[in-house]
Amino acid sequence: MARRRSQKNKKTSSKENTEVTLEILLSDCSNYDSWSTRVINAFRTVDPQLEQILDKSIIPPNYARENVSDEDQRCIRLNYLAFDILVNSLSKEDYHALIINHYEHIPDAHDIWTR
């Protein structure tokens, strides 16, 4: 999990130890353009396949942990990488609001992006 460096920027790392700096999305969304650019660049840096989460959910339909395919594992891994980047780019208040209102078993990174 990333450590807070400042209110404006955070750094996050993937399993591959690729470190990216993120901008915190302000509560009034006045920095949305620069924030979204940084998030997309972080996706591209960590794993170019993460960018597909901007357009659609990649969580496998009818995902079952006891009978998981390699492709399902890849999709879940990518989803969690994207989810980590997104939640680490939220303000503390927005993060808590997201967690309180998020009841899904597997957090969907696409859903977080569209919110």
Q: How many CB atoms are closer than 10 A to CB 100?
A: 8
State CA 14 to chain mean position distance: 11
pTM, entire model: 0.76
Tens of pLDDT, residues 10-60: 555 544 556 778 899 988 889 999 999 999 999 999 999 999 999 999 988
Per DSSP (E only), the strands in 6-106 are 9-13, 19-23
pLDDT reading at 5 higher than 50: no
Residue 38's pLDDT is 94
Tens of pLDDT, residues 62-77: 777 777 888 888 999 9
Q: Are 63 and 90 in contact (CB under 8 A)?
A: no
The rounded mean pLDDT for the chain is: 81
Q: Are 15 and 7 in contact (CB under 8 A)?
A: no
